[in-house]
Amino acid sequence: MNFAFTEQQDAIRESVAKLSADMLAPRYRKREEEALIEREIVEMLGEMGCLGGELPEEYGGSGLDCVTSGVIIEEIARGDFNVGYLPLLASLNGQIIAHHARPELAREWLSGITSGRKICCIALTEPHGGSDAANLKLKATRDGDHFVLNGEKTSISMADQADVAVVFARTGTQEQRASGISAFLVPMDLPGITTSRFEDSGQRAIGRGSIFFDNVAVPADHMLGDEGQGFKQVMQGFDYSRALIGLQCLAVAQQSLDETWQWLTEREAFGQPLAAFQGLTHPLAEYQTYVQAARLQCYYALWLKDNDLPHTAEAAMNKWWGPKLAFDVIKQCMLAHGHTGWGEDLPFSQRMRDVLGLQIGDGTAQIMKNIIARQSVPR
């Protein structure tokens, strides 16, 4: 077993870490206030090869492995959790498009996504069904060489910032459940598409909202995968994104720990540095252990994917444990800073709000545990 990163991965980590510290961290709070991620930042990430780097070169990627994509997300999220969502979206949607779109369509959109000129969101959730993802009512009706979409998607991350969306729609009957769902690549500037934005507690730079489809005509050749099989085919890509989400959250936890360890050496009480008090250091030592274990679990899932091995259970572990652990760690770091940690001058409260959202979005802990149980029970 080899737990070391390669020289290339270390070099990539170093360059992305510098970008994150210099360009992302200073505007973390400002992006929340503006409720926007600047397109200049997206394009900068594209120029550095941070978006969809694991995609083939013919689609604008660099042919990196998935472990390296994890390294990139980890370092970006250290500086700004929300900007860390951009490479995650690029990787998730990029793989879906690369595997299931017509080659010409894939090249057209992936060149924009990997360069940072285009943002792609994924539109699955609907108002009447969150965790019951296959209970979709958005209808796609065939009309000549188009499908006409009618309905609403809700709780969609970056709904009002995306240029294109991977949209799940029902082409069969409601009784068919997952077997009657197809996926489409839908440009967001098509006539009949409107969006809204919610007022959320966190992740405001990403934004979350609804997408409304009113007789939206989508070319039939924009279907991803086979008709009626889109849900089953495309959902497999979520195993990958769940491992990346774990690293995105744990990166913020580790950054908070690093800052707090430093704080304990600088702040004094009763004539001693705070680092001398076990009441403060022992909780952090425990969380340092948990973060290290969870982080290795995430990279293990990515290693399994790189080696074409099953990783559904491991990915689900990453998804429920990473966000929960990150929230608990950041809370402890805030408490260790005392009254200064409670203020908005330090980033802990914003980080807590941001990571908390991923205890809900992209699959709840209960759904993840169901997946783990299904994979674990002998058949």
d(Cα 38, Cα 185) in Å, to the nearest integer? 24
pLDDT (tens digit, 0 to 9) for every residue of the chain, 379 residues total? 788 999 999 999 999 999 999 999 999 999 999 999 999 999 999 999 999 999 999 999 988 999 999 999 999 999 999 999 999 999 999 999 999 999 999 999 999 999 999 999 999 999 887 666 667 889 999 999 999 999 999 999 999 999 999 999 999 877 667 778 999 999 999 999 999 999 999 999 999 999 999 999 999 999 998 888 887 777 778 899 999 999 999 999 999 999 999 999 999 889 999 999 999 999 999 999 999 999 999 999 999 999 999 999 999 999 999 999 999 999 999 999 999 999 989 999 999 999 999 999 888 999 999 999 999 998 7
In a domain, residue 340? The reply is: yes
Q: Which amino acid, residue 39?
A: R
112 with 24, same domain: the answer is yes
Q: What is the pLDDT of residues 181-193, one digit of tens each?
A: 999 999 999 999 9
Q: Which of 228, 259, 290 is the last residue of a domain?
A: 228
Domain-ending residue, one of 228, 252, 287:
228
The answer to whether residue 2 is domain-embedded is no
Q: Which of 71, 102, 118 is the last residue of a domain?
A: 118
**Dist. CA 76–CA 48, nearest whole Å:** 12
What total of structural domains would you count in the chain? Answer: 3
Kindly report the CATH number assigned to the domain that includes residue 178: 2.40.110.10
How far is residue 224 CA from its own chain's centroid? 21
Q: pTM to 2 decimals?
A: 0.94
Based on the fold, state whether residues 305 and 329 are members of the same structural domain: yes
Look at residue 180 and tell me if it is in a domain.
yes
User: Does residue 182 lie within any of the structural domains?
Assistant: yes
Q: Are residues 260 and 219 in the same domain?
A: no
DSSP string, 99-150: HHS-HHHHHHHHHHHHHTS--EEEE--BTTBSS-TT----EEEEETTEEEEE
Angle between the N-to-C axes of helices 365-376 and 312-336, in degrees from 0 to 180, rounded to the nearest 10: 140
* CATH label of the domain that carries residue 15: 1.10.540.10
Structure-token pair, residue 83: 């900007």
- Do both 84 and 170 map to the same domain? no
Note down the domain range covering 351.
Answer: 234-376
In a shared domain, residues 128 and 57: no
Is residue 1 assigned to a domain?
A: no
Q: How far apart are CA 122 and CA 217, in angstroms?
A: 18
